Amino acid sequence: MEKKIEIVAYRPEWEETFLELKNVLYQQIGDIVLAIEHVGSTSIKKLAAKPILDIDIVIDSYQDFSKITERLQELGYFHEGDLGIEKREVFGRRDSYVPWSEGNRSWMEHHLYVCPKDSEELSRHLAFRDYLRKHPETAEKYQCIKKDLAKTVNSREAYTMGKTGFIEKVMERAMKEKK
C-alpha cells in the first residue's frame, strides 16, 4: 500500500535547507558544476507542497558526469539512471544523513538530479518554477489542484497524472513568456 500524499503549507525552512544542502554540494562539486538550482513546489514561496526538495545540479556536458557521480558517491548518493527522462540523471540517498558532511545531521528528504545545461527537463523545471514565482494566481490554482488530489487519490502515480494537464498548460505559457 502506498503512502498517502501529504501536502503541507509552505515552510520558510525549505529555502534555508536548500541553501545548506547547496553549500555542502558546492564544497564537493562546485569546481565542476555550472549551478545548483532549487526547483519544484518547495521553491515557490507561499505554495503548499509535498515536503520534499527538488534539486537540479547543472553540468556543462556529460563529459563531467563520471567525476560528478564519483564525488556524489563520496557524500552518500548513488546513481539510479535517468528513469526514462533523457538528460536528467537521478541520484538516491543511502540514508537520511546524506549528504554526509562535517555536521552529519539528518537532512530533509530531497530528490537530486544532474542535468547537462542543454537538458529539456532542466529547461522545463526552471521555466515552470520561474513562471509560478512571477504569477502567484497560477501558483494558487496549482496549490488547489494539489490539495484536492491529495484528498482524493490513493497513489503517487494518480496524483502526478492529476496534475499533468495543468502543468502542461502552464508550461506552454511559460515557454512562450521565456522567448
Tell me: pLDDT of 1 over 60: no
pLDDT tens sequence across 43-100: 999 999 999 999 999 999 999 999 999 999 999 999 999 999 999 999 999 999 999 8
Separation CA 32–CA 60 (nearest Å): 8
Can you give the pLDDT at residue 102? 73
Give the N- to C-terminal CA distance of the chain in Å, as an integer: 44
Can you give the pLDDT at residue 85? 96
pTM here is: 0.94
Residue 51 DSSP one-character state: S
Separation CA 141–CA 175 (nearest Å): 19
- Ranges 11-20, 102-111, 161-170: which has the least confidence: 102-111
Nearest to 98 by CA among 12, 15, 27, 21: 21
CA atoms within 13 A on the CB side of 107: 30
Per cent of the chain over pLDDT 70 is 98
Who has greater pLDDT, 100 or 122?
A: 122
For the chain, domains (ranges, CATH) are: 13-178 (3.30.460.10)
